[in-house]
Amino acid sequence: MMYDVCIIGSGAGGSPIAYELSNAGFNVIVLEKGELYDESSFNKDELAVSRRDMFTPPLSEQKHIINEYSQSGKFTRYDGEKSGWNFWNGSMVGGSSNLMSGYFHRMKPKDFKLRSSYGEVKGANVVDWCISYDELEPYYDKVEKVVGVSGKIVPHKYLEPRSNPDLPYPMLETNEVTSWFDTACKELKFTAIPTPRAVLSQNALGRDGCYYSNFCGSYGCASGAKGSARAALLQKCDAKVITDAFVYKLDSKNGKITKAYYYTKHGVKHVINAKIFVLAAQAIETSRLLLNSKNREFPNGMANSSGELGKNLVFSAGGSGSGRFIFEKLTKEQQTALMQPGLFFNRSLQDWYDYNDGCCIYKGGTIDFLFQHQNLISRVNREMYDENGNLLWGDKLAKKIEKRLTTSRVLTFEVFNDWLPTDNCNVSVDDEAKDKWGIPVGVINLNSHPQDLEVGEHLAKKAVEVLEQMGAVEIDYSISASPPPNLVAGGCRFGDDAKTSVLDKNCKAHDLENLYVTDASFMPTGGSVPYTWTIYANSFRVADVIREELSKRMKL
């Protein structure tokens, strides 16, 4: 069987290709390592989802090696299994988009021209993208309509140009505490932005609207309101999805990928033939697969004539913080509003998407505000120690838990700023450690640039100002170089020069005529927003290119 297109990975990078090309009549197969979960099987089981990691592989079977670099250039090696350091996200049909919160921000025009807008940063490999915001804008717009983005656009200094003035779906309902935030921002002269969400606020697109379950991020959506790649795209097309298919090798001949090889969980081997291959296995695993696919034609890894494969891995820099609202400082009505479950907070700040520190202009970022996750066990666990750090037990512990959880609530914030690409942040494969199939595991070399922390600090302090103005107590934050495993990009940079990039501007490998990479691997820099919207948009863009290519071939 020769498929028109074989897509490896069913998440946000692969699914737009599957959706567009199968709906255009092409024969598409999607290979997904994980299982199928859908609306009927998702539930809000904290023990399974959050404490036993049911949606990610056991680290005893599949792990990473992590080399954490210090600023001096020395590194410490961690074995993912022994350390419990887990870089898997959602191993399932639709990938981690099933589990996202769906905070959707577009990248800004300057994000596409980071180098020319802000200049060179010593010790960082910053480059401009080889496409502009204008080229991606129609696809951001398409995602709003096809995947479904709800919210309300308000004017602000950094609002990106839009082909449509507002989002196609109305805002989700918000908690009254959101109005406290808006008032505080007005007093501080900050611009409160309703956070666009990839969550339908009403029935649309053949999916049910949000039912305000109180458990959105980290959990699968039981109504289909969340715009996961599965609910929004794969379930709306005829692409054939093969689950339990771990692709471990690609083979090539004369500059073309000829076959994809996969294992089932029981070690049974299969081979897929296709005219075009699209790789979207999430940034780390995409580089790993290509590095593990060495052959005579590509002795340093598939598509790696440049030597750039795996290089310039980026995450989202920043961190998080919180403040607590306590009953003692609130009226009865405010107390009731504060404890109202289910409704969203949905506010962001982008006033400092760039900022002048008095010396020069820095690229800043985004701050999202949200209520602390409702996971009860994890909230109770946070109360186990007294203010001096001593373990509590007995009645003292019970009283503390009861008071904290029933007469106060925590508002959190997340800072997103650029993780500058550096030489020591990349993906390789290990010489010794192998997964359960005997395939070399990915090595994640981690390094952060000092500027990442400085910018994160600047933004976190602004978030603190808002929490103080709102009357929160116990305000705290942490900006660190620890990477969020669900916000990873790079490793297969796109660019115009085949000597310095892995992919061309259409995300086709420079070295191969039928290999495209459409997860976040193509991104030379990550912007200062979560990546999912950009991954979706770019994948829709590449789908147009592949459709044209396949149509041309059919005419020949």
Partner 1 sequence: MQQFQRRAFLQAGFLSSAVIVMNGCSVFGVTTSRDTIKDLQNDLFPKAKELGINTSDYIGIVLKHSRITREDKEYLKKGVKWLNEYAVDMYKKQYTKLLSDERQKVLEGFAKERWGESWLDTVLRYTFEACFGDPIYGGNNDKAGWNWLAFSGGEPRPKKVFL
Q: Which residues contact partner 1 (rule: CB under 8 A)?
A: 42-48, 51-54, 58, 60, 211, 213-215, 219, 222, 339, 341, 374, 376-377, 380-381, 384, 390-391, 393-395, 397-398, 401-402, 405-406
510, 305 contact by CB (below 8 A):
yes
Cα 274 from Cα 260, distance rounded (Å): 8
CA distance 80 to 487: 18
Choice between 387 and 431, CB closer to partner 1: 387
DSSP secondary structure letters along 252-267: EETTEEEEEEEE-TT-
Burial of 202 (0-12, 13-18, 19+ CB in 10 A): middle
How far apart are alpha carbons 230 and 228 in whole angstroms? 5
Cβ nearer to partner 1, comparing 213 with 264: 213
Q: Are strands 311-326 and 408-418 parallel, antiparallel or unpaired?
A: antiparallel
264/374 with CB nearer partner 1: 374
Q: Choose between 2 and 47: whose C-beta lies nearer to partner 1.
A: 47
> Whole-angstrom Cα distance, residue 250 to residue 2?
15
Nearest to 376 by CA among 404, 344, 395: 404
| Least distance to partner 1, CB of residue 262, Å | 24
**Closest CB 261 distance from partner 1, rounded Å:** 28
**Both structure tokens of 56:** 């990610």
Q: How far is the CB of 388 from partner 1 (least distance, A)?
A: 13
| Shortest distance, position 10 Cβ to partner 1, whole Å | 22
Min dist CB 54 to partner 1, Å, is: 5
How far is it, in rounded angstroms, from Cα 277 to Cα 237? 18
170 versus 217: smaller Cβ distance to partner 1: 217
**Amino acid of residue 472:** A
Tell me how far, at minimum, the Cβ of 379 lies from partner 1, in Å.
9
- Contact assessment for residue 13 and residue 285, using Cβ atoms and an 8 Å cutoff: no
Give the up-direction half-sphere exposure of residue 288: CA atoms within 13 A in the CB hemisphere. Answer: 26
- The number of CA neighbours under 13 Å toward the Cβ of 79 is 8
Q: How far is the CB of 211 from partner 1 (least distance, A)?
A: 8
State the amino acid at position 274 in one-letter form: A
Q: Smallest distance, Å, CB 213 to partner 1? A: 5
Least distance in Å: CB of 385 to partner 1? 9
State the CB neighbour count (10 A cutoff) for residue 327: 16
What residues are paired with 28 via a beta bridge?
5
Looking at the Cβ atoms of 408 and 538, the one nearer to partner 1 is 408
Closest separation between CB of residue 230 and partner 1, Å? Answer: 17
93 CA to centre of own chain:
16
Output 42 or 248, the one with its CB closest to partner 1: 42
Give the three-class secondary structure for 464: helix
**Distance from C-alpha of 199 to C-alpha of 406, rounded to nearest angstrom:** 28
In the complex, what is the shortest distance from the CB of residue 179 to partner 1, in angstroms, rounded to a whole number? 23
Q: Which residue, 215 or 277, is less far from partner 1 as judged by CB?
A: 215
Nearer residue to partner 1 within complex by CB, 78 or 315: 78
The residue ranges of DSSP E strands in 338-377, in sequence order, are 347-349, 354-356, 361-363, 365-371
Select 132 or 406, whichever has its Cβ closest to partner 1. Answer: 406
DSSP 275-290: EEEEE-S-HHHHHHHH
> Which one, of 313, 248, 265, lies nearest residue 485 by Cα?
313
Q: Which is nearer to partner 1, 45 or 454 (CB)?
A: 45
Residue recorded with tokens 């609002």: 159
- Shortest distance (Å) from residue 200 CB to partner 1: 18
User: Measured from the CB atom, is 361 or 384 closer to partner 1?
Assistant: 384
Alpha carbon of 264 to those of 169, 246, 329: distances in Å?
A: 40, 6, 57
